[in-house]
Amino acid sequence: MPPASATLIRLPNPLGDAVMATPMLRALRTALPKEQLVVAGNPAFESLLEGLDSFDAFLPLPRGRGMGRVFREARALKSAEARRILLLTNSWSSALAARLASIPERVGRGNRGRGFLLNTALPPAREPRPMTEIYMELVPDLDIPPGPVELARPPNTEPGSFLGVAPGAAFGPSKLYPVALLAAAVQRAVESTGLSPRILGAPEESALLAELADRLEETGIVLDSGSGPCSDLADARLKIAECRVLLCMDSGARHIAAALGVPQVALYGPTHPAWTAHGTEGLTSLRRTLAEVPCLACHKARCPIDHPCMEKISPGEVAEAILETLT
């Protein structure tokens, strides 16, 4: 069990946001080499972060909803015997759990009126800017640039002849590129690059992955044998690491690829790319303009109209971006 000098880092729940916390972890380790750093969050993230030397232990937190989960989280946090917790989350429940755990120093943002539960409550981050920078602001005394996101590359993995395709996004259907357009884009990209498509996603995206696979196979495209739902995030990390380039939405898969040094072609519509502006040297972002789509970056999980922000990105444009990424 960590000593009382430990610092807890409460990861956010979205996968991409958790990956964007890795620069902060590395900065903390550099600035506080003798501090016990304990990362707490979704149990699934433990295998994703495996191999990093920027923290000492991972504390899995209970999943679920309601006050029962909050009390269980508080007990788990209390077991770490930490002197401080850095809340990268914005939820009221995570701040309450930290308070119930009697952690002496609680640092986070004062979103949703939760400031009274914290010792240090920073103002909400309202203007779009990289989450990597926003997280670093929780410890301003570090005075260390955030640096790039990072994940440990699985042993003995090299980029192969695979075009990774991650059609899903946990945020909601407004982030998704229509399957018919995506299939057309992948078909064109395969024909121009000779890469083998590897379709990837979470188990809950199985229906979406199967629909895309069926459309591609109807055109004679042969999928890589590694296509299909990933068993866990370690499997996702391995399969993405083997790709030459990843076609994706603004999703967790994009962040994993960036953290592994895999180039990405990412499609943006309802979300603003400034929030996730890291690893941009390997990123080709496709996005319409406000002049073309006035409701761009609405941040709605479901489009209330005809989804113009994604519908107006053409398959030819996507395929061309993939080809240019390889040359």
- The C-alpha atoms of residue 219 and residue 197 are separated, in whole angstroms, by 13
Q: Tell me the β-bridge partners of 39.
A: 9, 58
Same structural domain for residues 320 and 196? yes
* DSSP labels, 134-160: HHHTTSGGG---------PPPTT----
Q: What is the CATH number of the domain that holds 261?
A: 3.40.50.2000
Per-residue pLDDT of the chain (327 residues; tens, 9 = 90+): 444 579 999 999 999 999 999 999 999 999 999 999 999 999 999 999 999 999 999 999 999 889 999 999 999 999 999 999 999 999 999 999 999 999 999 999 998 899 999 999 999 988 888 899 999 999 888 878 778 899 999 988 888 899 999 999 988 999 999 999 999 999 999 999 999 999 999 999 999 999 999 999 999 999 999 999 999 999 999 999 999 999 999 999 999 999 999 999 999 999 988 888 776 678 999 999 899 999 998 999 999 999 999 999 999 999 999 999 998
Same structural domain for residues 167 and 124? no
CA 157 to chain centre: 21
Closest C-alpha to 152, from 25, 325, 17, 12: 25
Q: Is the pTM of this model over 0.85?
A: yes
Q: Cα-atom radius of gyration of the chain, to the nearest Å?
A: 20
Same structural domain for residues 131 and 169? no
The H-assigned helical ranges of 167-221 are 179-193, 206-218
pLDDT of residue 280: 65
Which residue reads 């990072």 in tokens?
150
| Intra-chain end-to-end CA distance of the chain, in Å | 50
Q: Do the domain assignments include residue 312?
A: yes
Same structural domain for residues 118 and 177? no
pLDDT of residue 55: 97
Q: What are phi and psi of 266, to 5 degrees?
A: -115, 140
Same structural domain for residues 103 and 240? no
Q: Do the domain assignments include residue 264?
A: yes
pLDDT of residue 146: 76
- The C-alpha atoms of residue 41 and residue 47 are separated, in whole angstroms, by 12
Q: Domain count of the chain?
A: 2
Same structural domain for residues 176 and 59? no
- The C-alpha atoms of residue 86 and residue 136 are separated, in whole angstroms, by 10
pLDDT of residue 150: 93
Same structural domain for residues 115 and 33? yes
Domain residues for the domain of 272 are 162-326
Q: Do the domain assignments include residue 153?
A: no
CA 275-136-100 angle, to 5 degrees, is 100
CA 194-197-198 angle, to 5 degrees, is 145
Neighbouring C-beta atoms of residue 128, cutoff 10 Å: 15
- The C-alpha atoms of residue 16 and residue 253 are separated, in whole angstroms, by 8
Same structural domain for residues 202 and 240? yes
Q: Do the domain assignments include residue 1?
A: no
